[in-house]
Amino acid sequence: MSGRHAAGPEYAERLEGSELACQRMRVVLETIAGSKRVIEACAELDICEQRFETIRQEAIQAGVAALELKPAGRPRKTTTEADERIASLQERIAELEAQLTAALLRAEMATSLPRLGGKAGKKS
């Protein structure tokens, strides 16, 4: 048979987490694999059987929760009413700023250009 050898309970020692958490996970995996009895596990961790059963149940439950299927892809960006209102107000501000710029340019041009067709033109 080719391929990698399966990692055993000792794999838990290489995971992220405190030394105690990694040790607890290794011991839990050893009891599940049948290589260690619950009484031996309790003696190693210096806890009673009830506490060990609680720890084992929590570890297995956390593992199951971590393996739940999740929706594929990036989550949708949810927009709220407030976000939509902000976007429409920002669009309105941009329109009004463009109108203001155009009005200022017209006013500047009107004051700087000479008037045509007025009395200052030809003399008759």
**Cα–Cα distance, 8 to 32 (Å, whole number):** 11
Angle at 54 between CA 52 and CA 58, to 5 degrees: 115
Range ranked top by mean pLDDT from 8-12, 49-53, 73-77: 49-53
**Cα–Cα distance, 43 to 72 (Å, whole number):** 44
Model pTM score: 0.54
**Cα–Cα distance, 30 to 10 (Å, whole number):** 9
Q: Of 77-81, 92-96, 105-109, which range is least confident?
A: 77-81
**Cα–Cα distance, 104 to 111 (Å, whole number):** 11
